[in-house]
Structure formats: structure tokens, C-alpha cells
Structure 1
């Protein structure tokens, strides 16, 4: 593989430059011998020289002129690595949104750097600011800032967990028209505040723990003409607006955070409804939102479905109901929350106002099939708390205050509405899951027993076939602007949730690297797909591409960890460095690696099949007992 200095592009970037799909780029690489070869990256994610690709596209008549926005993005992408891309994008967006930018551009580079000390931190920043400003002159500031945000989100699709525009619009639709000040204490890149913001009419207030994300949110709001005050910091442990009383509070908080500040916030005055359990960070966020709403003000929070029924939170849920704070819960379609694959809920609350009567009913809305019915059902309920619409039910408070205080909408909606059509749909889902399970059966062949000769990682590292790096056991975590992949993230198969700061000793994994935990007994190993900073107690294994296939390595390490965990004494932990890898030809390794990937897909399909089967069992059982179903006479 050749190496070259200068900007590089991925296959996806090339597709966008030429206005074609990625399949066309793959076809060009196969068909045309003069297509530029990779200059970096990995076999699965190669990088190409932008100059060479641009020249080839022009020679083939596939590119007349490099689009201005693509040219800017390639400059941005090649000026910052993955870990610092958000910082650069946020600073460019803030520069475009700066009210004096046009005047500043008439000055020299040194004057711009002096005038924008928070935005210019490197030698390449001023030329990039000029390039972004030039694009804004043509496309407009709003489109330019949104282009930068969109491209960043595409580049880090696994890392960016933003509320979809559809759910943001739905949450905004519940906000009463008279709301003049709206607050989001976990505002991310500003999506919820943008949805509810009305230039000149609504003041947006937000807080975000990631400083770069907060800067980007402020820029996205500013270029739309929305008056905004966005501050950085963790809203639970470092409230930036202690005196704020907003007309409406919208929030999509982080789900299932155990390190939300339970110990240090035990006596916090915000917990008027009870100290949130250590494992229920969402109930802390709900109470934080209520504390920052004016009396009578609205609170709209996206919640995981488990929060409606966990036993640990029933006392607080009871207090929400008894005080009249909780007004409605909306069950949303699957995939509506970026943090969870399970169908989430919207909790609609109102901060109690002295003198107001305590509501006698709580509205339950089933919007799992269509979100369009949710807002009309809510408005009808507000006009008449006893009125019900299709897919909703006003549940008497006394019916909710039982031993469980389970607020799951499906539990309180009328049985026929819950069962009708549900069995048929679930049968279809189960059959589709079984068909997918059959399609994903691993491609393997039975052979006579042939033990594979394996070599310890330590020996392979000495020969240079791979390198092994362990992250520090003690790291400053929990605070900082850098996302860290933790051992728990790795075991649960999720994106990085840890927080930390850049500094000496930080270990960064790149595409094609393999990461395994060195603590705990849960076997895990994952191939990294994009540059990721690693938290404590992780082992980075970087295979030589000419010696090992990364998916082969991850599969065998995961199996080795599972066997070691099963055979080791309960008090001991398997030592990842003693795990062994077979030495096989690279082509054969890739066949193994493909099967390992098929096994992961198979396991996921198996899980979905089990969930569909369990749901069907419950629906049929409830339907038979409640009289909504009866045995088939032809069965």
C-alpha cells in the first residue's frame, strides 16, 4: 500500500464527490486498473488520496468541479483526527455564527486569531474559518452550519446519539404556544431546542456536559436567529442555571447512568419527590427538570420503558402521581430513542402550582403504531380529563397507586385495543425473525477433529505479528470532554459512554484494532471500526494486517475468554495476555472471521426471535384468560 501526504478520502466520500452510490465506487476499483490505490486506512476501510481521486474522476468525465461544500469537508476531515473532529466542527460552526465574522475576514490571520481565541487553537484554523465563511456567503450561514453538523454525524454515526427530528418535533408539539422560555438540561447538539425554538418569540436555554457539543448547539441555534444561552457542564453535578424557572423543559437524558452523582447529591434540594435510586438516573433527570420549570410549567422527558415499572422507583412514581406532577405517558414506536432499541416512553409532567386542584386521572397513550394520534389525544385530555380517544385512556389515579405503581401504558389501556391485531402482527414478526434466523445459519462444515496449534499473545507480540497495549488501571474518568470506551461498554456491545480528558497515557484504538477487557468474567472482544479513546482496564491488540485478520483475532479471543472464565476458580480472573491464537494462512483466517461475524448476526437474530416468541406467548395467554381470544376450532 502506497503512502502519501495530503488530504485523504474514504469510499463514501468518493461516492458523494461523484454523486453516485458506494457500490459504484467499489465497481470502479474492480473494473479500472488505473483507479488510485489506497494510501492508508485498513483493508476494510481504505483511504485514498483526494488529489489522485479528483484527477481520476476528472479524467473519466465523472467530475467537472469539486463541490464547494465537499472541498470544505475534506479540508476539515484531514485537519483533525476522529477524537478532535467535533472540536474543529464546533469551532468552525461558531465562527460562521459569529456576528462579526464578515468584518473579521477583512483583517489578517493574526487579527482573526486574536479576536477569536476560543475558536482558533491551531495554525490551520484560520484558513478553515475563511473557507467556511466563503461557503456561508454562497449557501448561507444556516445551511453551512447544518452541513458541518450533518457530515460530522455521518462520520460518527455510532457515537452521535441524537434525538431524531421526528421525535424532537413530537416533543415540541406538546409545548404550549405561550411558552416564552424553554430549557433542555442535556441538550446535546441542540436538536430539541431547535424544534421548539421560534426566532424572536422563544428564548432557548441549554446545558451540555460536552463543551464542543454545547458550542455546536449554540451555533446551530444562533444561525437560525433563536436567542439562546447554552452552557457547558454536567447539569446534575454542576447546575449552570440554579435559579432558572422555564415555561417548558424538554429533555432526552442519558439512560441507565450509574455514575450520575448519587453519593455527592444525596441531600440535594431538587429531590422533592425522593432520592433517586443509584440505578435510576432518569428519575434524577426528571426531578431536575421539574425543579427548573416554573409553577405550572411543562416538563417533557424521553424515558426508557423500564422506568415506568422498576420496583426501585415506585416510591418516586407514586409521589409524581399523588402531587399531580405526572399528567401523561406516551408509548412511542421502537427506535425512537437513540440510547435504546426498546420502544421508549414520553413522560408529560407539570410542576404543581399552589392552589391548583390535584388531577384525578393520568392519560395513557399508545402511539407505537403512529405518533400522529398522540398530540390530539393529549389536547382532548387537557380539555376534558375524562374524555378518551382511540389508542388512549384516562386512568383514575387510584388505579395506579397499587403495590407496583406500574405506569406502562400497555398495562392500562383497554384489553381489546392491546390484543386486537397484536397476535397476528406478532406472529408475522416471529415468522420473519425465524426466516432471518434460518438465513443467518453459520456456513460451516463438519470435519474430523483437527486441533489448531495456538500461540500465546505474549509470544505473538514478541515476533511482531501483533502489538499489545494495556490501558492504565487508574485514569481520571467521569469528567472531561473525551468519550471513552469502557469495559462495560465493550461487554454490553454499546458505543462509548465514559468521559475523560486527553493527556499522557491515553490509549487510542483505530480501525482494525481489537479490544478486550482485562477485568471481570464476562467474555468480550470487539473489532474497532472508528478511532476510539479507551478507558481503564482494557487491552488493545493491534494485529499486523499481513499476519492476522482482526475478526479472526476477536472471535478466538472471545471464545478463549469464555472458556477461561468457565474453568477458572470463582475468585480468579482470566489473564487476557495468556490467551492464544492459532497460526493459520491469512486467507483461511478471513474465512474464520466471516463465520465469527455471521455468528454475531445469528445471536442478534436469535435474541429478536426469543423476544417475539415471548411477546406472542404473553399476548395469547392474556387474550385467552380475558376472553379476547379463544382456541381455534379447526386446530
Structure 2
């Protein structure tokens, strides 16, 4: 088990485990891993935590995961042990006594072992499929950079674009993310998958056997040894291993799948696209996740052109600057005159735009999507990157928005001077005695709370309660993220709390104005007794250069950790603190107004450029030329 696993076991942060290792000579020694990421023996850790009184009652899911990891011994064997555990679940689920689907050959899980019993207990409480999904999620987390899976939101978009396909094939299925999404989002009755890695196919076999009646997963390289040579599916979903450059270019030169041209040796992406099309029934669709660079590489322009000319390529969707989705269709009948291009990552927008385009081949939503005439794309480059081909956003309100922004900026500039705090040099240059924040916490003037570690935040989702991030605190803006709290580790902020964040060369302490936001990663919270400490005074003093230096511990090039206990504040009566607090509060309002001024200025500059380009703005009469300073 890793240090993160120990932290979960004890219900603490990972930093606490590091402290235990330094402070306690009897803490268990690593049994493997690396100096940076050591692993420990579960029985030894349990014994030590129990002796120290730090072992808590674990939820059934955490216990099952720890037992599985202990059974595996190291993370390289973890996939096989998980497949064997899933194999047992499939047998029990189906009431079989015959061997299960296809656990990794080297895997073994004794029926009476602690891991087998823990997984069985989890399945009894959660159900077999949800139990396996949880353990598979933890498996991916443990693999880190060694492996990757298609993100659930991307898989859902691709499955939705495939439509209601009865038979779905994924020729590079991994652990089955796209096939699961097809079963959940469509009407798929038959699921077929293949992958070159026997470990992932074992996991995919279990995963699909627990949730679907008709699924077949095979092991092998789909390009070199097609496991379904005669299958024509209603839909092919694929997130191929594009990083593999030895895909078989030399031995597959004369392959009949290269209907649109021989894929260049360094463009395996175009080999996978044509493999997917070769398995699509007439009228069926192939949805392939592609690196964005494939849309414009010169080496692939002839194949891209042929895909356009034949009508095989129907849409290119830019999910990000790095990832595109290509929607392809086996040509039948006439050739379409346009290609749909979308530059948006929102699933609902993508799917609704695709449906609209099917009934409106001249679709155009400026800045978001457009049906681009294919003839316009067949130039020397055949660049299929969506953004350059979209219509510009509407200009009908540019002039109106420019005037609105102008008025708001003028009002804000008038207000700025009145926000400056009224302070003057002190006659007493010696200053007041100071006290450590740690001492204030000890005597009960304030309480210090730390947010959960980033790696412990599996609960973070796209909905739920507002979640403050370190960037929110540094930029002085409202909570920009959201999370669904799953346990008592989460801290809800209250009005008057002080939240503190650190990043590279930046440090900020802000007073919370309203209740309800959750304390996000890498944040520290101080909850003060308002009868003894003024929060605005304390937040202002904590932001001093001296306190920023003593309280910030740099952890990477871009992030820092706050140890606010080392900060100091002057010892002043509460009445005096409140006078300073007014000045700090006005300064915070000034900073906020200044940021708004900059944002409005940038918006005005953009609107001026847009209005000049489209002819909706002209200089006022008598405008005097400005002599720009040299740079």
C-alpha cells in the first residue's frame, strides 16, 4: 500500500503520514516501490496504526481495495488480481461453477483469502457491477502515468454521436470505457472489443460480463491480427493507442482496408480511422478520438481529401486544443456537400448540433459550429481544424456593447480614488509586540483548518456545492469549481472566515463574505473569535511580505503549501484592530475594482477592434491623434 492508502486507512492527509515516518522510528519500513513513491506491507501498517490508536473503522469499499492491493504485492500484479476478483464476481453473479470469463493467466485469488472475502462483502452491499467499477477506478488511480483510460465525459459524447446502434465494436477497447458508454447511452445489444494488452482485455471482459448479456472481448493487435475480420457493426467507437509508431506499416502496405490511401508510417491515426470504416456497415458510423494535429499534418492531407471527397468524413469536433473527435460514415448514395465543424466541449451542444446538422446541411452558429462546404476545404493543406472555418460572432451589438463597457469603465474609474484607504505614517516607528498564529490557536482565539489533499478528492464533480480553489483566493473571485462532499473531511466556509492560498511567488489571505462554499485543495482556513480578533485586520497582516515568506513552503514550480502557524500578527486591542480592519477592507475593495478595471479595459480594446473591422464603430469627430511611446 502507498502513503496515500495509509492516509485513507487512518483518515488523515498524506502529509501526516510523512510526518509519522520522520518522527516515529518504529514506523514500518517500505517493502518496495521507489524512494519517492514507497509501498508498505498492509499487516505491518495495520499493526502500527492499531498500537498508536490511529486505526479507524474503514468503509467496506476501502477495506476491499486495501486487501486487494495487499494480495497483489505490487502494482504491476494488481491488474491480474483485480481481474481474478472480478472473475469470481461473474461466477457468483451468474451462479456458475465453471471457470469465469478470462482472468489474467498468472492471476490467482484464493477463495478463502482476505481479499476474496472483502470483495465479496463489497459486492453483497453494493452489487457486483458497482463494486467492480469502484475497484477498477482505484486501479486506474494506482497506475498513474503507466496507463490511461478514455475520460467518462468524452466516452459519453462519442457514444451519443454513434446513435442507437445495435452492434458496437471497439478495436482498441482498453478496459471497455467506450463499450460501457454505448450500453448506457444507446440501444446497443451486442458489444465487441479487442485490445493488444491481455491484462486490460481481462478487466474489460469482467466489466462487460457483469453488466451486459452479449459481449465478446478478444486479445490481439487489431491492425495486424483483426479479431473480428468479418464483422460489420452499426457503430465503431475507438480511442486508439496513437503513441505506438510501430503499427505495422511495412507488412500492411497492400492491406485492402486502405481504401482512402496508404497511411504514412508516422500517421497511425489514419490507419485506425480506415480500420474503423472497414468495420462499419453501410450507413453506420465510426466515431474516433483523434489528436488535434492530425487535422493539419501535411503527410496526411491526401487521405483527408479522399475522406472528404467520398463523404466518409461527416464531422470534426474540437473538444480541446489537443483532442478532436471525427465522425465518419460508410458512404451510401449521394456525397454530402458540407462537413460539420464544432469547436465546443459541451456534450449537450455537440449532440444537439449534430442532430440539427442532419436536418439542416447549411447550419451555421457563429463562433461555435458551421456546415463548411467541402469544396472550401480541398485546398493545398486540407486543414480540418474547426476554429479557422467558423463564422465570426455576430456584430450587430458590437457598438452597443462598446458604449455600455465604456460607461461602466468610466464609472469605475471615478470610484477608484474614493476606495483608497486613509492611512498615514506612524509616529511610533518601533511597532507593537507580535504573537504567532500558532499561539493564537493554542489559546482559542482562532481555529486552523486544512482542506483535503488534492489526491483525496475523488468527490469533485461538475455539480454540487461551490468549491473555492487556490486561484479563486489569489484572484479575489467567487468560487469557480463545484464538489459533492462525500464525508466529514470537507469544510464549509462561513462569513468572516479567512482563507489562505499560496502559488509561485504569490500569497493571498481573503475574508469570506458569505456562507456555504467548500474549502478546496491547498487552502488553509482560519476561523476567528470576532470578539478577540478582527478578521480583516488579521487577513491584511497575514498578507505581509514577511508572513508570506515564513508561511509559504514551495512544493513545485507553480504551487505552494501554507504553514500559517509560523505567521505573526501585532498584539493590538480589538478596537484598534477594527480600525486597521476598515483600511484593509477598503484596500481589498480597491484591488477588486482595479481588477475589474483591467478586465473592462481589455474588453473595450477587443470591441474596438471588432467594431472597426466590421464597420460598426468610427472615431468621434475631432479625435486627436495619439503619439505612441516607443518600445
TM over 0.5: yes
Query: What does the per-residue CA deviation read over 1:202-222, in whole Å, with 9 as the maximum and x for residues that have no partner?
Result: 211111110110111121112
Q: 1:121 to 1:276 in 2, by over 3 A?
A: closer
For the pair 1:363 / 2:344, whether they are aligned, the reply is no
Q: 1:265 to 1:47 in 2, by over 3 A?
A: closer
For the pair 1:75 / 2:67, whether they are aligned, the reply is yes
Residue 28 of structure 1 and its aligned partner are, at CA, apart by 4.4
Map of 1:395 onto structure 2: 372
SS of structure 2 residue aligned to 1:174: helix
Distance of 2:291 and 2:325 partners within structure 1: 9
Map of 1:438 onto structure 2: none
Distance of 2:90 and 2:100 partners within structure 1: 14
Residue 329 of structure 1 and its aligned partner are, at CA, apart by 0.5
SS of structure 2 residue aligned to 1:243: coil
Q: Determine if contact 1:256/1:282 at 8 Å carries over to the other structure.
A: no
SS of structure 1 residue aligned to 2:253: coil
Q: Determine if contact 2:67/2:118 at 8 Å carries over to the other structure.
A: no
Match of residue 374, structure 1, among 336, 340, 350: 350
Residue 373 of structure 1 and its aligned partner are, at CA, apart by 1.8
Query: What does the per-residue CA deviation read over 1:461-509, in whole Å, with 9 as the maximum and x for residues that have no partner?
Result: xxxxxxxxxxxxxxxxxxxxxxxxxxxxxxxxxxxxxxxxxxxxxxxxx
Match of residue 19, structure 1, among 1, 4, 11: 11
Match of residue 38, structure 1, among 29, 44, 48: 29
TM norm structure 1: 0.59
Residue 122 of structure 1 and its aligned partner are, at CA, apart by 6.3
Distance of 1:314 and 1:625 partners within structure 2: 36
Q: Determine if contact 2:317/2:343 at 8 Å carries over to the other structure.
A: yes
Residue 77 of structure 1 and its aligned partner are, at CA, apart by 2.1
Q: 1:120 to 1:288 in 2, by over 3 A?
A: closer
Map of 2:568 onto structure 1: none
Map of 1:234 onto structure 2: 221
Q: 1:78 to 1:196 in 2, by over 3 A?
A: same
Residue 281 of structure 1 and its aligned partner are, at CA, apart by 0.4
Distance of 2:86 and 2:618 partners within structure 1: 63
Match of residue 93, structure 1, among 80, 86, 94: 86
Residue 416 of structure 1 and its aligned partner are, at CA, apart by 4.7
Q: Determine if contact 2:84/2:109 at 8 Å carries over to the other structure.
A: no
Q: 1:25 to 1:233 in 2, by over 3 A?
A: same
Map of 2:133 onto structure 1: 146
Q: What is the RMSD of the two structures over their aligned residues, measured on CA atoms?
A: 3.7
Map of 1:258 onto structure 2: 245
Match of residue 272, structure 2, among 272, 285, 290: 285
Q: 1:375 to 1:122 in 2, by over 3 A?
A: closer
Query: What does the per-residue CA deviation read over 1:45-81, in whole Å, with 9 as the maximum and x for residues that have no partner?
Result: 3334423432343455543434443343333323333
Q: Where in structure 2 are the equivalents of 1:411-422 lying within 5 Å?
A: 411-416=388-393
Q: Determine if contact 1:142/1:220 at 8 Å carries over to the other structure.
A: yes
Distance of 1:122 and 1:196 partners within structure 2: 29
Distance of 1:200 and 1:14 partners within structure 2: 42
Q: 1:417 to 1:280 in 2, by over 3 A?
A: farther
Distance of 1:320 and 1:331 partners within structure 2: 18
Task: Using the TM superposition, name which of 48-57 and 203-212 deviates more.
Answer: 48-57
Q: 1:96 to 1:596 in 2, by over 3 A?
A: closer
- The total of aligned residue pairs comes to 415
Q: Where in structure 2 are the equivalents of 1:546-565 lying within 5 Å?
A: none
Residue 311 of structure 1 and its aligned partner are, at CA, apart by 1.1
Match of residue 328, structure 2, among 316, 339, 349: 349
Structure 1: runs of 5+ lacking an equivalent: 1-8, 105-111, 334-341, 422-593, 602-615
Q: Determine if contact 2:9/2:56 at 8 Å carries over to the other structure.
A: no
Map of 2:486 onto structure 1: none
Map of 1:383 onto structure 2: 359
For the pair 1:296 / 2:275, whether they are aligned, the reply is no
Q: Determine if contact 1:92/1:119 at 8 Å carries over to the other structure.
A: no
Residue 154 of structure 1 and its aligned partner are, at CA, apart by 1.1
Residue 411 of structure 1 and its aligned partner are, at CA, apart by 1.9
Distance of 2:58 and 2:26 partners within structure 1: 18
For the pair 1:409 / 2:386, whether they are aligned, the reply is yes
SS of structure 1 residue aligned to 2:64: helix
SS of structure 1 residue aligned to 2:76: helix
Pick the structure with greater CA Rg: 2
For the pair 1:51 / 2:43, whether they are aligned, the reply is yes
Q: Determine if contact 2:80/2:107 at 8 Å carries over to the other structure.
A: no
For the pair 1:194 / 2:180, whether they are aligned, the reply is yes
Distance of 2:105 and 2:268 partners within structure 1: 37
Residue 143 of structure 1 and its aligned partner are, at CA, apart by 2.0
Structure 2: runs of 5+ lacking an equivalent: 399-552, 561-601, 620-624
Q: 1:233 to 1:402 in 2, by over 3 A?
A: same
Residue 35 of structure 1 and its aligned partner are, at CA, apart by 6.4
Q: 1:595 to 1:63 in 2, by over 3 A?
A: closer
